Amino acid sequence: MTKITIDGKELEVDPKLTIIQAAAQNGIHVPNFCWHPKLSVAGNCRICLVEVEKMPKLVIACATQVAEGMVVKTKSEKVVKARNSVMEFLLINHPLDCPICDEAGECKLQDYAYKYSIGASRFQEDKVHKPKRVELGPHVLLDVERCIMCSRCIRFSEEIAHQSALTFTERGTHVILTTFPGTQLDNPYSMNVVDICPVGALTSRDFRFKARVWEMSSTNSICVGCARGCNTFVWVRNNEILRLTPRKNEEVNSYWMCDDGRLNSFKSVASEKRLNGPLIRKDGVKVEVGWDEAISKVVTELHTYRKHEIAGIASAYATNEDNYIFTRFIKEVIGSKNFGFLSHVKSGSEDDLLIRADKTPNSFGALSVGAAGENGTVGIDHILKGISEGTIKVLYVLEDNIAADPKIAEVLKNLEMLIVHSSVRNETTAKADIVLSASTFAEKNGTMTNFNGRVQRIRPAVAMIEQERAMDGMAMSRWDKFAAQNDSWGKGTKRDARSSWRIIAAVASAMGGKMKYATAEEVFKEMTERLPAFKGLSYAKVGIHGAHLKEIKPAAAKK
């Protein structure tokens, strides 16, 4: 270790670190624009200038390695004056359009202008004008006038996404960020440049002009687009999800996430196909019913058949808690051995960075809670065979659109009863006799386990009205009056959706099973007591960054 001093504070640091890294590790902030912990050092912006004793000039903290006995000053008079000059230089041609800029409220240049600038400029001439609203690719727009030439986006594209698409052209005040001729920024991770851009130069075409950051709430969650489980922030305004952004977790996704997960994994929450409550087929037509009637119908139908005539299909899209309760219900309450779940692996659709071929968020978790067939393997071939032969007459499907496969859809015609949990209308709900409307990942508490065996939390980011009424203890009339006066409230969510574990527990209780839980956390607690892989875990230990299962290689995972 190397001993250095920063702002009078003696530190022992790794000799391989630069000044800015050593300072950051010890809670000392050195302002920066072009430096990023996961990118190469460029030294473009000069805002990280610091004073080092015995050195004749100020040095940039991002590119200066620490040395034994080094004494660093980040707030000396010389440093403050230099930062003022750098900020004045960066703002010479920067447009004063904060009121209409998407980055306002989370812009480094805006923050540093308040903190490190003198608040005035000696340059009065007209600003240099550059291209605006430039389409760099399908998802990213560029306003060159706002660009401060930090080169973060260029380095990300080359070093992380491995696509040489961006470059600088021209010189001096006329420098322009652009794409190489005949290319566009269209790699699977292109929207990460919007996150790392320290100003409002790069903006998301999907989120552009939708909301200000201070108008939204952000909730810690995970992306459900594939088995990686990238850590995310879910950004919500008026109870509607407007965007997902990556949340740092070095054990999972570092600072990044893919464009597909960012843009598509949350769209079902406010989909036009969203179910508005339970459905029952009556006289060949599905009608909306209340939960009591729906649960009563499920119980009646299940009591009509013998246990070996009933099969259950769990889901790699559902939470650990949902699959655990479903597994217990089919195996213990129903007493059936006909059980399994579908794998959704798209060969050739993964890469070496984040994207996984498994397009479900919780296949590992489903295996870990026992949601596999009798022989411990993934798949439902034995169930489909039983349906075709007429030995299985009732199928209970948990949150999986199995009928999207035409071959499976054809087999389902042989069923006498199909019960489905789903949040949206799809091919499977179209064939179902009973549809139970399930909450989405953004409306409930729970856990999912990624491909590495890391258990991670999901949390409610948008609220269902029924949930809020129960939480707040509002009288029905008062709540309805509130909802009527706030037209935007409830946009993107539906009234009558429930977590699958809660639905199944209600059905099980009506059939004489002992399943009484008030919260998802109570379900998880029971899992930690009954399942060795989850032993010692809790919601508190899972926290915001997740925790590994005790046994991270279930036997079925290899098959």
**Residues 86 and 33: beta-carbon distance below 8 Å:** no
* pLDDT value for 491: 47
- The answer to whether 447 and 365 have CB atoms below 8 angstroms apart is yes
> Is the confidence at residue 196, as pLDDT, over 70?
yes
Pairing of strands 434-437, 417-422: parallel
Residue 45 has pLDDT above 80, yes or no: yes
Amino acid at 155: R
Q: pLDDT-derived band of residue 349, with 50, 70 and 90 as boundaries?
A: very high
Dihedral through CA 10, CA 16, CA 19, CA 23, nearest 10?
-60
**Considering only 24-38, 242-256, 380-394, 467-481, which range has the smallest mean pLDDT?**
467-481
- Specify the pLDDT at position 16: 96
Q: What predicted TM-score, i.e. pTM, was given to this entire model?
A: 0.90
Over 70: is that where the pLDDT of 559 sits? no
- What is the pLDDT, as a whole number, of residue 477? 41
Check whether 367 has a pLDDT greater than 50.
yes
**Predicted local distance difference test score (pLDDT) of residue 96:** 87
**Rounded mean pLDDT, 143-161:** 97
Percent with pLDDT over 70 in the chain: 92
Which pLDDT value is given to residue 311?
96
Residue 527, φ and ψ in degrees, nearest 5: -60, -40
Taking CA atoms, 399 is separated from 270, 372, 488, in Å, by 17, 15, 28
pLDDT band at residue 523 under the 50/70/90 scheme: very high
- pLDDT above 70 (res 59): yes
Task: Write down the pLDDT at residue 201.
Answer: 97
Question: pLDDT of 303-322, one tens digit each?
Answer: 999 999 999 999 999 999 99
Q: How far apart are the first and last CA of the chain?
A: 47
- Average the pLDDT over 468-484 and give the result: 42
Percentage of the residues of the chain whose pLDDT score is greater than 90: 86
Give the whole-angstrom CA distance, residue 549 versus residue 547: 7
Q: Which residues contact 541 (CB under 8 A, 6 or more apart)?
A: 547
Query: What is the four-CA torsion angle of 58, 63, 65, 71, rounded to 10 degrees?
Result: 20
Q: What pLDDT shows up at residue 463?
A: 84
pLDDT value, residue 121: 81
Could you tell me which residue, 271 or 527, shows the higher pLDDT?
527
Q: What is the mean pLDDT of the chain?
A: 91
Domains of the chain from N-terminus onward: 2-90 (3.10.20.740), 99-110+123-209 (3.30.70.20), 279-460+496-549 (3.40.50.740)
- What CA–CA distances, in Å, run from 10 to 23, 64, 412? 11, 18, 71
Tens digits of residue pLDDT in 434-447: 999 999 999 999 99
Which of the four pLDDT bands, split at 50, 70 and 90, describes residue 520? very high
pLDDT for 529 beyond 90: yes
pLDDT at 193 over 50: yes
Three-state secondary-structure class, residue 461: coil
CB-CB contact of 314 with 326 (8 Å): yes
Residue 338 has pLDDT above 50, yes or no: yes
* pLDDT class of 118 with cuts at 50, 70, 90: confident
Average pLDDT over residues 111-139: 90
Single-letter residue type at 165: A
Task: Kindly report, residue by residue over 221-230, the tens digit of the pLDDT.
Answer: 999 999 999 9
Give me the mean pLDDT over the 131-158 stretch.
97
Of 403, 405, 401, 407, which is closest to residue 388 (Cα–Cα)? 407
Pair 253, 354: CB distance under 8 Å: yes
Give the residue-averaged pLDDT of 75-80. 96
Question: Cα angle at 87 between 86 and 92, to 5 degrees?
Answer: 100
pLDDT attached to residue 465: 56
